[in-house]
Amino acid sequence: MTDAPSLPEPDDLAGATALTDRALDQLGRLLLGQADLHRMVLVGILSRGHILLEGVPGVGKTALIRGLGRVLSLPFGRIQFTPDLMPGDILGTHILQPTATGERQMAFQPGPIFTNILLADEINRASPKTQSALLEAMQERSVTLLGQTRPLPEPFFVMASQNPIELEGTYPLPEAQLDRFLFKLRVTAGDVAVLDEIITTRRRGEPPEPTWTMSADDLARVFAVMDRVYLAKAVSRYIARLVAATHAGAAEATDLVGQYVAYGASPRAAIAMAESARASALLAGRPTVGFEDVRRVAAAVLNHRLILNYKARFDGVDAFRVVDDLLGSLDEAELDLPADVQVAREAGA
Amino acid sequence: MADRQPTHRAAASLRRRILLILALRWTVRLAAAWCFAWGVAVLVCRAVPGMDARPLVWGLAGLAPCAAGAAALAWRRTPSPRAVRAVLDRASRSGGLVMAEAEVALGPWASRVPALAVPAVHWRLKPATLALLAAVAFVVFSFAIPQRFVEITSSRPLQVADEVAALAEQLQVLEEEQILAAEEARSLEQSLKQTAEQAAGEDPAKTWEALDHLQDAVRTAAAVAAETALGQREAAGKAEALARALAAETDGLDAATLAAAMKELGDLLEKAAKDGPPLDDAALKEALADCQAGDLATAECMQLADRLAMAGEILKARLLRLQAVNLIEIDALKLGDGWALDPADLIALLEGQGGDGMEPDLLIQAWLAGVPGRGGISRGRADAPLIQGDASSADGLEFVETVLPPPTVADLKESHLLGVTLGAPSVESGGPGSGGALAPSSAGAGGARTHRVLPKHQPAVMRYFQREGEGAGRPAASP
């Protein structure tokens, strides 16, 4: 994707923003008290990225993804990952079928991955072999079986969930696969008010049916508008500096990075951050990406890509703290002024 | 593409503001550094002897390059227009629209660019300003501080206090003894004081050289004065002895002897008075005149002798004082009365006891010279003069040439080691001598070789036999 030569028209942008607002509103009706999560999930969808949801059981991960599929009017498939799940169970397989002439031939039986939104539930319970079956699908959006490559439906999203507890009998996702997820979002339980509302409005916890769904054309229109959201050079440089600073020893790396980060984020993270920042700007109704968009998506993009060392585990430092430290230390404008000269962050300050 | 838009003006304004602040910052810093360096240079120039610090006032002009350098540095550190726009975008919360304005055509979005207010640029100027003020104060201080506080002085002055004190004491003695004129003494004292003040460890040779010069001057003066005093004292002492002799035997001397004695006394007084005090007072001059007239009475002789004795004591005290301050070194013999004469000896000489018929003036001169005129090898004291008699004549004498026997011992240079033995070496008996004085002897390892006694050896041989004749009574050979 290249920078658009011109900004989206105001009406187009307003229409796209209205659609996304309605989608968010519907998601909010389906899953109460998770507005920020819904926003980030929608940002991930608009960025054509895959999302890894992490949370304890019962916080609504599956409900969110199911509701998203319904709101976006996209075919939805679910795979419950188990240790005995095989790649063929996901990708599909060739079976021997009789033809009309009585002959028998091998026919491809597509797996559940051939859908628009795939819910990979408890993805860390499958064996690495099965997890790896998703690699090509997530990156290339295609499946190759018996030397034949088959494209997946467009758009294709993997919405994976994993349980941070009950780690016995699980297979942590390898870094290569983690890097293919645009976001890793933490799903937390709602507060008292949210729980009270859930109890009083949802019998047996069943979410209501969406009152509005986004059509495929609407989604394509939103994607088209988002492609024209402009990323200014100063912002793209900020993203590049931010990702570069996640590596210990980088020029702008903070002390926290140098102390706790074993491996920093990949260039794929910078790409993901730029795309998700564009989506964030679109949701905000702006034709250009601002620094605040980058700051908003930075933690979701970087937290699963930073590999911290054992010292961080001992000291209780997690990736979110490292990202917060980076966001606080890097000057977005890169003024590079002497320490005793500062420009106010706001006019009139 | 949007150069005429308000955002561009705001960006340019912010950039100028940052440039100005940076230039001011660097100017203050460079000026402070320059002022410190300037002050140090001024202090160094003022501290080093011979260097003039006044031209360093032109160091004020060095602030101009500081300002120019500050402007250059500020220009290099001024943020790029893109960064400035990013700051404006951030400050106005325009969400990237201000940044995008400089890169793409905004189209209908241009009207949605918010009105921009240039954010303030803050500079913590307190430390830099304090540094500059301190530097300026340092420069002012370096120019204003009195010179005596700046001059480099030796932390270790040369320790010449003892030498200076000794010289001062010597000068005082010389001045009090009137050996040095008052003006000359003051000049030397002034030189000594100046040398002591300028004595510095950095150049000790200069100080020591000056002190040596002064020491040489005072020692020379003291030596001359001591020599004069010794001469005066000796003359006075002899004159005193002569005066006492005259006082004792004036009546028993004939006129010629008395006149000769008076004349000698007058010569001594004149000689003593020639070198000044204390032997040039009026009484001694009157006595001198009487002596030259030949009418010095006995009582006057006694008075003269007393006066001369007193003058001698004065001279002795002077010499002792000079010696006490290490100006001169006089042995005890000179300071004592080694030259002292006994008037009784002169009286005895004049009365014909041992004069050997000499004239009175010669007798008096001999007595004054301390040569009694008697004694010899077999008589008198050891200091009696040798009396040369008639010279012996060598007329008619001839040397008889004899041949000495050759030695049998080979020349040591020609010897060589034949062997080493515990017993006595076997020595060949030498051949018989061919004759001569040593022919009968068998000295050493054999007979002497015969050598011809050359004429040039004859005086030595003659002296040898003369010695033998006087000691043993028998010369070995007759000339």
State the pLDDT confidence band at B410, using cuts at 50, 70 and 90. low
d(CA A4, CA A223): 13
- Write out pLDDT tens, residues B117-147: 788 888 888 888 899 999 999 999 988 888 7
Contact A333 B79 (CB under 8 A): yes
- Write out pLDDT tens, residues A325-337: 999 999 888 888 8
| pLDDT greater at residue A169 or residue B106 | B106
Q: Which residues from A are below 8 Å from B14, CB to CB? A: 343
Question: What secondary structure does DSSP assign to A3-40, as a single string?
Answer: --SSPPPHHHHHHHHHHHHHHHHHHHHHSTT-HHHHHH
Do the beta carbons of residue A347 and residue B87 sit within 8 Å? no
Do the beta carbons of residue A35 and residue A213 sit within 8 Å? no
Query: How is residue B234 written in tokens?
Result: 């000796």
Say if residue B469's pLDDT is above 80: no
pLDDT of amino acid B252: 67
> Mean pLDDT throughout B427-438?
51
Its ipTM equals 0.84
Q: Which residues from A are below 8 Å from B114, CB to CB? A: none
d(CA B73, CA B33): 15
Q: Any chain A CB within 8 A of the CB of B18?
A: yes
State the pLDDT confidence band at B448, using cuts at 50, 70 and 90. very low
Q: What 3-state DSSP class applies to B231? A: helix
Q: Sign of the C-alpha dihedral, residues A283, A288, A289, A292?
A: negative
- Write out pLDDT tens, residues A85-116: 998 899 998 888 888 888 888 888 899 999 99
Q: Any chain A CB within 8 A of the CB of B28?
A: no
- Worst-scoring range by mean pLDDT, A16-30, A49-63, B367-381? B367-381
Tell me the CA end-to-end span of chain B in Å, nearest whole number: 146
Contact A288 B95 (CB under 8 A): yes
Secondary-structure breakdown of chain A: helix, strand, coil percentages, each rounded to the nearest 5: 45, 15, 40
Quote the pTM value.
0.60
Say what percent of chain A tops pLDDT 90.
Answer: 44
Q: Any chain B CB within 8 A of the CB of A84?
A: no
Query: How is residue A216 written in tokens?
Result: 């495929």
Contact B83 A6 (CB under 8 A): no
- Write out pLDDT tens, residues B150-163: 776 555 667 778 88
